[in-house]
């Protein structure tokens, strides 16, 4: 358990102990025989243990299951000994009153609270009015203090525990958003690649020139997909409806689908433009996957204050029925459109056509011809996600903590006022006494809620010290004018010292205030029991003021920090997504590009071999779609052996001689994944940045762990001469450095003296397991 929850529980337990000390003093003052003192001590211990169970259910959860039975036992221990000890035992009823609210639902707990307060009135009904009023106030105030400290301690513990859960939910929400973006961006591109590769496969034998054009489109699509991957991985992506519409017409026409385009929507805000472009891309993806359309219509126009995009096709009845969940992409798009205040509809129009229509309102500022107004409307999906369970409840915890603290401070003010009025001062002194006590309360509220008020001041520290100095003056100066009737609020001064001063200066001041108040109290001819009571009461009041004020501040800070913690967790998840996208899809799309270039060279002279290469391209595209799902679901698991086998086949296909030896035995799952990722990323960089003719891949055991080495002879012809300087960069090799460091390894990359480029990772397996 973290320090703040422990400190909160410790303060609460100390206050409970103080109350038991006070009640024990009253029992001891009755001079009972030794066996009654022993019985009283055992009763205190039993009630204290039961109270801890009721106040802190997280400490003994199994016993708390029987809280109703333990409450009944506490009731017996609270009232039965009164027959033996009289009113000296009445303080135990106050603990029971607090437990009633802590144990039972509010509809029953608060009526029992009221009944407990009335019990205090009944126990002291035969005494003078001041004594009855003071004890009734104590009968309500002490249970409120116990309830407040217990509830706020539990609140602090739950806030600390909820941060991890909140971060997990925020990350899950970000994963869903990321998965949707992957579906929207790459689903279209990979579907188009598969479609055009199948078309080129059929055209190679009869129309090689046409197949050559289709392969050119595949190359452009794969390069655009790589750019989309980079955009999504950075968490920022703006799309253009006009650009997507023109690209769609070109792609559909090449696929033999008659397409008509009507674009009269004008300039759109960035957020609206991106969402409508995403709708168009997703609609085309579904059409290519689930129908065999021959005609398609794309229409974008202004209607009133909004923009309307309509995508229609005649593929109803000629395609494969979509499998379960096929509309998941459209459902996600509907959510995005609704966040902009729009609507999405789709379905058959009754004339044999399928129609997808999106309507999104356009802000007036964005339609001004002079370009005034905001440059863009923020896409709600690009904004930082609000963590679950915070929206709509942002101020509930701080308000509850503030209300508890304010109620207890006000209760202390009333209780001390009753004591001051019990001396029956003249009217003038009574008014001055109340004004001084009210001023003390205001200064205490300023210090207790300094996290709300003082932080706005130019010199907050000076204001805090000034408020504490004012409390000291109000505690000491009025005594010279009001005499023994002025007791002040020493607990407020002591508690404020703990809040404002460091411990080395606060505790001596607490001791001084307690001693001075005892000296003053002694002058009014009090008994030793009253003196002990006053001493304990001042210290307890100081602890309560400090504990409630600090916990109220901590509750507010924790509640605010949960949003920041969730945001940081989302940022970390985005970085993980970026690495996974770069490592997994970068390799696949690079391989598609490389093989399509090879097919274009082979098509005129070796159509059979070109068809075989196209078959491999189709397989890579399908694997890329599987990798998209893997990244989106956060369940990436890779094998070094499998990656090495794939690398051997791929390198042989592109004419690179490869020597592969990865016989290093079984590896831990995280290490296996990291090394497989390193191999894939290293090959991706080699294909992109060099003209290697020979490559060596070696994985071997070392005394401390495992070493993976990837070398190639492409240094001379590398397009990027600074690749070896990117070890600590933000992508590629830099991502691998982060991954290898996470499994207690180190990564090295650079040119060797013999002219070969080397990428090497060493992981200590024993340290990783530990």
DSSP string, 650-696: HHHHTT-EEEEE-------HHHHHHHHHHHHHHHHHHHHH---SEEE
Residue 166: pLDDT above 60?
A: no
Residues 258-268 have pLDDT tens digits of: 888 888 888 88
Name the β-bridge partners of 255: none
Whole-number pLDDT of residue 711: 92
Answer for the pair 52, 14: CB distance below 8 angstroms, yes or no.
no
Q: Which ranges of 126-269 would DSSP assign to H, the alpha helix?
A: 129-206, 208-233, 241-254
Provide the 3-class DSSP secondary structure of residue 112: helix
Residue 375: pLDDT above 80?
A: no
Residue 296: φ, ψ to 5°: -145, 140
Whole-number pLDDT of residue 381: 37
Answer for the pair 311, 253: CB distance below 8 angstroms, yes or no.
no
How far is it, in rounded angstroms, from Cα 736 to Cα 751?
Answer: 17
**181 pLDDT tier (thresholds 50, 70, 90):** low
The pLDDT mean for the chain works out to 76
pTM above 0.75, yes or no: no
Q: Which residue has the tokens 């592109």?
A: 654
Whole-number pLDDT of residue 8: 67
Whole-number pLDDT of residue 196: 75
Answer for the pair 290, 322: CB distance below 8 angstroms, yes or no.
yes
Mean per-residue pLDDT, 722-745? 61
Residue 333: pLDDT above 60?
A: yes
For residue 711, the tally of other CB atoms under 10 A from its CB is 22
Residue 47: pLDDT above 50?
A: yes
Whole-number pLDDT of residue 2: 40
Answer for the pair 519, 368: CB distance below 8 angstroms, yes or no.
no
Mean per-residue pLDDT, 2-21? 72
Whole-number pLDDT of residue 244: 79
Whole-number pLDDT of residue 438: 92
Tell me the CA end-to-end span of the chain in Å, nearest whole number. 23
**377 pLDDT tier (thresholds 50, 70, 90):** very low
Whole-number pLDDT of residue 380: 35
Whole-number pLDDT of residue 544: 87
Written as one string, the DSSP assignment of 630-655 is HHHHT-----HHHHHHHHHHHHHHTT
What's the number of CA atoms in the CB half-sphere (13 Å) around residue 202? 6
Mean per-residue pLDDT, 324-352? 75
Whole-number pLDDT of residue 708: 92
């Amino acid at each position: 358990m973290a320090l703040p929850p422990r400190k909160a529980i410790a303060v609460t337990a100390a206050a409970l102990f103080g109350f038991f000390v006070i009640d024990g003093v009253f029992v001891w003052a009755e001079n009972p025989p030794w066996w009654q003192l022993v019985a009283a001590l055992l009763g205190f211990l039993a009630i204290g243990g039961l109270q801890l169970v009721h106040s802190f259910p997280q400490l003994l959860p199994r016993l708390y299951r029987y809280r109703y039975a333990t409450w009944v036992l506490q009731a017996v221990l609270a009232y039965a000994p009164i027959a033996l000890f009289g009113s000296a035992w009445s303080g135990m009823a106050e603990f029971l009153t607090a437990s009633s609210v802590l144990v039972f639902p509010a509809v029953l707990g608060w009526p029992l609270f009221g009944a407990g307060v009335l019990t205090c009135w009944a126990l002291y009904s035969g005494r003078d009015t001041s004594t009855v009023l003071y004890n009734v106030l104590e009968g309500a105030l002490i249970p409120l203090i116990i309830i407040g400290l217990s509830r706020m301690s539990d609140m602090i513990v739950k806030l600390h525990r909820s941060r991890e859960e909140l971060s997990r939910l925020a990350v899950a929400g970000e994963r869903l958003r990321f998965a949707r973006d992957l579906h929207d961006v790459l689903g279209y591109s990979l579907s188009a690649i598969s479609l055009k590769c199948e078309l080129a496969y059929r055209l190679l034998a009869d129309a090689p020139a046409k197949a050559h054009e289709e392969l050119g489109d595949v190359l452009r699509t794969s390069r655009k997909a790589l750019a989309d991957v980079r955009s999504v991985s950075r968490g920022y992506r703006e799309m253009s409806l006009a650009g997507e519409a023109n690209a769609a017409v070109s792609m559909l026409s090449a696929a033999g689908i008659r397409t008509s385009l009507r674009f009269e929507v004008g300039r759109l805000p960035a957020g609206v433009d991106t969402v409508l472009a995403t709708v168009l891309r997703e609609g085309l993806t579904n059409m290519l996957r689930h129908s065999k359309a021959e005609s398609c219509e794309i229409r974008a126009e202004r209607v009133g204050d909004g923009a309307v995009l309509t995508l229609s096709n005649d593929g109803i009845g000629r395609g494969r029925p979509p499998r379960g969940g096929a509309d998941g992409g459209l459902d996600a798009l509907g959510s995005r459109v609704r966040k902009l205040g729009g609507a999405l509809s789709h379905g058959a129009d009754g004339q044999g056509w399928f129609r997808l229509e999106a309507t999104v309102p356009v802000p007036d500022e964005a339609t001004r011809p002079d370009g005034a107004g905001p440059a863009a409307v923020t896409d709600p999906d690009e904004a930082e996600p609000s963590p679950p369970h915070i929206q709509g409840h942002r101020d509930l915890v701080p308000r509850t903590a503030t209300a508890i603290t304010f109620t207890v401070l006000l209760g202390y003010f009333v209780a001390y006022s009753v004591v001051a009025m019990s001396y029956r001062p003249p009217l003038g002194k009574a008014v001055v006494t109340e004004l001084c006590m009210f001023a003390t309360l205001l200064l205490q509220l300023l210090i207790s809620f300094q996290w709300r008020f003082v932080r706005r001041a130019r010199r907050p520290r000076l204001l805090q010290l000034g408020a504490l100095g004012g409390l000291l003056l109000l505690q000491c100066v009025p005594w010279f004018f009001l005499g023994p009737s002025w007791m002040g609020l020493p607990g407020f001064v002591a508690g404020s010292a703990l809040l404002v001063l460091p411990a080395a200066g606060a505790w001596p001041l607490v001791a001084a205030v307690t001693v001075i108040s005892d000296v003053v109290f002694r002058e009014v001819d009090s008994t030793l029991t009253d003196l002990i009571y006053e001493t304990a009461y001042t210290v307890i009041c100081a602890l309560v003021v400090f504990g409630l004020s600090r916990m109220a501040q901590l509750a507010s800070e924790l509640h605010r920090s949960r949003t920041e913690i969730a945001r940081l967790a989302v940022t970390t998840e985005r970085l993980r997504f970026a690495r996974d996208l770069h490592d997994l899809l970068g390799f696949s799309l690079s391989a598609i590009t490389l093989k399509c270039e090879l097919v274009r060279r082979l098509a005129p002279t070796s159509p059979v071999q070109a068809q075989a290469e196209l078959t491999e391209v189709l397989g890579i595209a399908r694997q890329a779609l599987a990798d998209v799902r893997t990244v989106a679901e956060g369940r990436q698991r890779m094998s070094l052996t499998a990656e090495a086998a794939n690398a051997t086949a791929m390198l042989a296909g592109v004419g690179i001689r490869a020597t592969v030896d990865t016989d290093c035995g079984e590896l831990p799952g995280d290490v296996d994944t990291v090394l497989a990722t390193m191999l894939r990323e290293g090959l991706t960089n080699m294909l992109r940045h060099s003209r290697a003719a020979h490559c060596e891949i070696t994985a071997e055991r070392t005394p401390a762990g495992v070493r993976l080495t990837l070398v190639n002879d492409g240094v001379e012809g590398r397009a990027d001469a600074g690749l070896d300087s990117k070890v600590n960069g933000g992508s590629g090799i830099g991502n691998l450095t982060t991954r290898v460091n996470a499994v207690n390894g180190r990564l090295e990359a650079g040119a060797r003296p013999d002219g070969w480029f080397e990428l090497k990772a060493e992981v200590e397996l024993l340290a990783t397991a530990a």
